Chains A and B, each alone.
Chain A
Amino acid sequence: MRESVAKDVLRAFLATLAAVLVYSVAGGAGPALLVVLNAFSVVVLYFSVRRGEVFGALLGTMCGLVQDTFSLGVFGVAGLTKTLLGFWTGYISRRIDVAPFARNALFMLVMSVLEMALWVLITAVVRQGSVNWHGGLVLLQPLVTAVLGSSLFALERRIRARSSRGA
């Protein structure tokens, strides 16, 4: 049990590093890209579906806090929203079949929209007036997150199918 928790923490740490990597590359490409692409959310969604609610919550905490570190917002807001995102994504995906591409994309879209709504709500409460909609561009974020997340699963399935055919 202790070993599996330690392994999960290590995996969560590595996944967070992957998120920082994607975030840095996206930031280098242009600030507008960061408005529509939240690399941390994509990583949390992907790994939560794969590894369940406890891992999702842990990874959400790590990714969220790292995202908060690279922002001037209140430290912990993204941490809280991503913890809840990771937990509930992992929990629900264990109960319904989210394997088909369309269902997977829809599920991720719903979870991303909920995460964004929660983030806006908490930010509006703890730091009034700091929610910036970037002319509505930010509303594309859940859609981009869902497309990227479900594409990752589709890509993974294709690679697995090809390697099993090869074997």
Chain B
Amino acid sequence: MPIREKRRSALVLAGLTAFHVLLISIQVPRGAEKSLFERSVFFLFSPVQRAVSGGVRGVESLWNGYIDLRGVRSENQKLKKDIFFLNQDLRFLEDRLRFFRSEAQLRENLADFRGTIVPARVIGVDSANPNQSIVIDKGRLDGVGKDMAVCDRFGYLVGRTIEPVSLKETMVQLITDKDSSVSVVSAVDRLTGSMTGRSDPVCELRYVLASVTGGRPGEELLTTGYDKIYPPGIRVGRIQSLEKDEASPIFRRILAAPYFRFNTIDVVAVLTERPGGGG
């Protein structure tokens, strides 16, 4: 290799390395807003992800809807049976709810609630760690913005929208991410704390004082709404274990398992209304 070419290669490597080191160093400590550069790259490449996801879905739908129809009849019968039981459940729940509120009030609340949900499809999973974030196919044009709660199809909390939010795509920080924090309360013993991710499938319930008693494995955790991001009352997960924290004697060490599963977040709901009415 001629010396000139060698020098050129070394210069390219040095330039690119310096660029990356600079890029990393301006973000540490982490927490700053996403840079214009990062947003631009997301804006440029997220439509590709969306197109691929759409294409794969199209092929899947062609296969499932026109070719692979084995078992449809039995599935249909099973679904009819499920609908019957679900209708019974619904009727029972509506009766119970009417016990507390007037019907007019109930209808009004349900109508309000429907208007604030934006259904979205998941088109991408975090490239470094699937427990950190996902990308959905709704963006500013659909009324989605930063810091909106995202739930799965069963109403369990999945996470919140974060930057970058482009015209038709948005990144969602999962509650299992290390930097995620949700204010929660346990359903029975009213333990209040902050459910924080660990970038793995299990979360931690932090800031519950060691002097506070109560709480048991399996107890459900609900959002409190104190963080002004997640509306109160959304089901988040359940307590997995409680023990003394050897590292910090002030607080208890509580592990919590989120309800949402990756196989149920192909479709999610973005709640565009924030607690307190901000949209």
Give the B-binding residues of A (Cβ under 8 A): 16-17, 20-21, 23-25, 27-28, 30-32, 34-35, 38, 40, 53-54, 57-58, 60-61, 64-80, 83-84, 87, 91, 94, 122-123, 126-127, 129-130, 132, 134
Contacts and interface: CB of A to CB of B under 8 A. Distances in A.
B123 A24 contact: yes
B9 A40 contact: no
A31 B261 CA distance: 11
Interface residues of B, number: 51
B66 interface: no
B127 A25 contact: no
A126 B179 contact: no
A79 B45 contact: no
A54 B8 contact: yes
Contact of A71 (B12, B45, B128): B128
16 contacts: A24-B124, A31-B262, A58-B16, A67-B127, A70-B42, A72-B132, A74-B24, A76-B24, A78-B128, A79-B23, A83-B16, A84-B13, A84-B17, A126-B24, A130-B199, A132-B129
Find the residue from A40, A74, A77, A123 having the highest chain B CB count within 10 A: A74
B27 interface: yes
Closest 4 CB pairs of A and B: A31-B130, A80-B20, A76-B23, A24-B52
B16 A69 contact: no
B38 A75 contact: yes
A72 B132 CA distance: 6
A55 B20 CA distance: 17
B268 to A, nearest CB: 14
B49 A20 contact: yes
Given A28-B53, A53-B13, A127-B178, 8 more contacts: A21-B52, A27-B49, A67-B127, A72-B133, A72-B179, A74-B28, A80-B17, A132-B200
B141 interface: no
B110 interface: no
A28 B137 CA distance: 13
Given A71-B128, A130-B199, A25 B45 contact: no
Contact of B126 (A30, A32, A70): A70
Nearest to B52: A24
Find the residue from B123, B125, B177 having the highest chain A CB count within 10 A: B125
Interface string B1-35: 10000001100110011011101100110100011
B104 interface: no
A70 B135 contact: yes
Nearest to A95: B1
Contacts of B162: 72
B69 interface: no
A40 B128 CA distance: 11
B56 A28 contact: yes
B41 interface: yes
Contacts of A80: 17, 20-21, 24
Contact of A130 (B13, B17, B129): B129
